[in-house]
Amino acid sequence: PVIVDVDPATLCLDYAAAEAAVTARTKAVMPVHLAGLAVDRLATAEFARRHRLAVVEDAAHSLPTYSRGRLVGDLGDVGDVGDDLGDVGDVGDDLGDGGARRPHAVVFSFYATKTMTTGEGGMVVVADEAMAQRIRTMRLHGISRDVFDRYRSTAPSWFYEVVEAGYKYNLTDPAAAMGRVQLRRQPRMFATRQALARRYRAAFADLPVDLPDEPTVPDSTHAWHLFILRLRPEAPVSRDEFIAAMAQAGVGCSVHFIPLHRQPYWRDRYGLTPEQFPVAEREFGRVVSLPIFSSMTDEQADRVVAAVRGVLG
């Protein structure tokens, strides 16, 4: 993998940096919809089509998020994001593969802290049935049929074949049942997060921080999985001092995220240095995530606001 820098406004993938990193060996692009703010689907589609790339979207933070009028994960005609682009998903016409489309997948997380949860687990959305079937096979030991298929097939229910060296990534039935309930509750949970984000933005507008922006891409929304403040140089405390002071006030904060170039595996294996990622390095030193969750009460939000203003005001 080739790691590139982030956009200073959104903290999402910087496509200018990605352009400079593309080589003849590049096979796919993996944009991350950070904090619940979607990478522009039009920019993604144009980039993938121009370079004949597959797309794997990391949407772990982004349910429900709209980009240009479509939910992240709504692939339509394999990424058809606008009439002006034609069939944007068809990015491989002249690849010598019989005109086959490059794959497009969107991956969601249902971990406990996400905008909806199954406790653990996730979901992959694809528009290609062959890819979907391979995912189903690989998620459970490479077995050629799932349990449901055993009871609708003419083959004996006890019969199965291991056709690939697969994994144990299947979602449990209780977790899936929880997810169905969470999906029904999603509109209410989303509305709560939106209200909290508006409240924070109004409460902190006069403080020495840069607030997360609403989407600037037309017909787009923010899922508000995270609410990230960025402390300005004139703030009375550093980021780490801010987190410590908030803890003293009884409010837990966190940092999302430590950049990959600072993580030992990526740093040492790929020779990454801070100088290669000036935006990520700069922003890492001043980002802090405030509590935001769909069951948050007015009293809890009041405590967060009072604590932030007490430290920075």
Q: What is the separation, in whole angstroms, between the first and last Cα of the chain?
A: 43
Helix (H, G, I), strand (E, B) or coil at 120: coil
CA dihedral (267, 272, 273, 277) positive or negative:
negative
CA nearest to 115, candidates 75, 78, 81, 71: 71
pLDDT in tens, 230-246: 999 999 999 999 999 99
pLDDT in tens, 255-269: 999 999 999 999 999
Amino acid at 231: L
Is the CATH number of domain 15-173 3.40.50.880? no
Helix (H, G, I), strand (E, B) or coil at 106: strand
CATH hierarchy code of domain 187-312: 3.90.1150.10
Using CA atoms, how far apart are residues 124 and 178, in angstroms rounded to an integer?
17
The distance from CA 56 to its chain's CA centroid, rounded to whole angstroms, is 11
Residues of the chain with CATH 3.40.640.10: 15-173
CB neighbour list of residue 95: distance below 8 Å, 6 or more residues apart: 52, 102
Backbone angles phi, psi at 180, to 5 degrees: -65, -40
27 is catalytic: no
- Model pLDDT, residue 148: 75
Options 33, 70, 104, 114, the catalytic residue = 114
| pTM of the model as a whole | 0.90
Phi-psi region of 52 (alpha: psi -120 to 50; beta: other; left: phi over 0): left
- Model pLDDT, residue 92: 40
CA dihedral (23, 256, 211, 219) positive or negative:
positive
Q: H helices within the chain, ranges in order?
A: 15-21, 41-51, 129-139, 147-150, 173-203, 239-248, 264-270, 278-284, 298-312
- Rounded to 5°, the CA angle 18-11-207 comes to 155
The distance from CA 141 to its chain's CA centroid, rounded to whole angstroms, is 27
Q: H helices within 22-126, ranges in order?
A: 41-51
Dihedral angle at the C-alpha atoms of 217, 108, 254, 120, nearest 10 degrees?
160
Buried b (16+ CB within 10 A) or exposed e, 285-294: ebbbbbbbeb
Using CA atoms, how far apart are residues 195 and 183, in angstroms rounded to an integer?
19
DSSP assignment letter at 140: B
Q: Are 107 and 124 in contact (CB under 8 A)?
A: yes
Residues of the chain with CATH 3.90.1150.10: 187-312
- Model pLDDT, residue 3: 98
Amino acid at 122: G
Low-confidence ranges of the chain (pLDDT < 50): 77-101
Q: Are 97 and 85 in contact (CB under 8 A)?
A: no
CA nearest to 54, candidates 3, 100, 6: 100
